[in-house]
């Protein structure tokens, strides 16, 4: 696990975008795992800027959403399919047919989840998975207690998560109780995971998953087992890390050829 501490969200977005840009330049049809929520927005802003300003080409890129609410009508403004369209794919030249999401509106949720796993495998697996982290340590919507080996499936949102996400809706009552999410095993299959977090509200979760025990009680801690996990956070999110000095030293002395 590589922990990189940067001054703020703009720098975090730029560094994560560097990683995505170098992947796409080496592999134009790269498969990217797309998170939603507020954390990835600086990445999407920066990628859109590089598309407009530098001609970064996404025309062959394929995308797989990390999760989706169950029960929101198709086309709902806060459905993650719509959020990804609005915040990222509509702003670059990703072909709409190359963007996939787990289906939260079907009558056959287990079948749709298996189809989603099959679609990721058929695409050759995810090259780079963008992640945020919940205040309770979830990644995707793998809430505390999730199997560390789980695959795409339905989950019940923790009340903490519903309250955290109520800011995207008019009222807490409108936040669905259920989601379909890539499992922790699905996320662990990605060849590179890039998790971004900023703000003091994430400091406990960051401390717990970076330096605490690997446990289903803190689902993001499974990333300690990932061979290539890049954790990019700001000073506030890093405030409770005992090893912050070591992480800063390692990044400052990182061989340039290693890239992000």
Under 8 Å CB-to-CB from 100, ≥6 apart: which residues? Answer: 62, 63, 64, 65, 116, 119
Minimum CB–partner distance for residue 247 and ligand F6R (Å): 21
Largest CA distance in the chain: 53
Q: Which two tokens stand for residue 83?
A: 């959020």
Cβ-based nearer residue to ligand F6R, 3 or 132: 132
Minimum CB–partner distance for residue 179 and ligand F6R (Å): 9
| Sole binder of ligand F6R in the list 45, 46, 67, 234 (CB under 6 A) | 67
- Strand, helix or coil at 153? strand
| Sole binder of ligand F6R in the list 33, 63, 102, 134 (CB under 6 A) | 134
Q: Is 230 in the site for ligand F6R (CB under 6 A)?
A: no
Residue in 82, 22, 89 with CA at minimum distance from that of residue 58:
89
Q: Is 63 in the site for ligand F6R (CB under 6 A)?
A: no
Q: Is 144 in the site for ligand F6R (CB under 6 A)?
A: no
Residue in 86, 30, 42 with CA at minimum distance from that of residue 233:
42
Minimum CB–partner distance for residue 258 and ligand F6R (Å): 26
Q: Given the rule CB under 6 A, which of 2-10, 16-24, 132-140, 211-219 is the region that contacts ligand F6R?
A: 132-140
Dihedral angle computed from the Cα positions of residues 163, 178, 13 and 200, in that order, rounded to the nearest 10 degrees: 30
Q: Is 104 in the site for ligand F6R (CB under 6 A)?
A: no
Give the total residue count for the chain: 260
**Looking only at residues 17 through 56 of this chain, which bind ligand F6R when binding is defined by CB under 6 A?**
35-39
Minimum CB–partner distance for residue 143 and ligand F6R (Å): 10
| Triad 201, 207, 208: Cα angle to 5° | 105
The full DSSP string for 178-223 is EEEE--HHHHHHSSEEEEEE-SGGGHHHHHHHHHS--BTTBGGGGG
Cβ-based nearer residue to ligand F6R, 81 or 138: 138
Q: Is 176 in the site for ligand F6R (CB under 6 A)?
A: no
Q: Is 132 in the site for ligand F6R (CB under 6 A)?
A: yes
How many amino acids of this chain bind ligand F6R (CB under 6 A)? 14
Question: Which stretches of the chain bind ligand F6R, using CB under 6 A?
Answer: 35-39, 66-67, 132-134, 138-141
């Amino acid at each position: 696990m590589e922990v990189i501490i940067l001054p703020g969200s703009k720098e975090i977005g730029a560094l994560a975008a560097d990683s995505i840009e170098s992947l796409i330049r080496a592999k134009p049809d790269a498969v990217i795992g797309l998170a939603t929520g507020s954390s990835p927005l600086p990445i999407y802003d920066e990628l859109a800027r590089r598309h407009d300003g530098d001609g970064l080409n996404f025309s062959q890129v394929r995308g797989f959403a990390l999760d989706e609410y169950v029960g929101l009508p198709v086309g709902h403004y806060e459905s993650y399919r719509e959020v990804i369209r609005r915040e990222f794919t509509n702003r670059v030249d990703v072909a709409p047919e190359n963007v996939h999401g787990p289906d939260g509106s079907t009558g056959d949720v287990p079948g749709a989840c298996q189809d989603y796993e099959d679609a990721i495998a058929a695409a050759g697996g995810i090259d780079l998975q963008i992640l945020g982290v919940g205040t309770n340590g979830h990644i995707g919507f793998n809430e505390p207690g999730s199997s560390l080996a789980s695959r795409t499936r339905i989950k019940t949102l923790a009340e903490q998560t519903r309250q955290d996400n109520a800011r995207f809706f008019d009222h807490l009552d409108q936040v669905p109780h259920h989601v379909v999410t890539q499992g922790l095993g699905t996320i662990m299959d990605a060849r590179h995971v890039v998790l971004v977090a900023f703000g003091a509200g994430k400091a406990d979760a960051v401390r717990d998953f970076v330096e605490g025990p690997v446990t289903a009680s803190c689902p993001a801690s499974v990333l300690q087992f990932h061979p290539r996990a890049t954790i990019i956070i700001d000073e506030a999110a890093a405030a409770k890390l005992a090893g912050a000095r070591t992480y800063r030293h390692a990044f400052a002395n990182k061989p340039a050829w290693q890239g992000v």
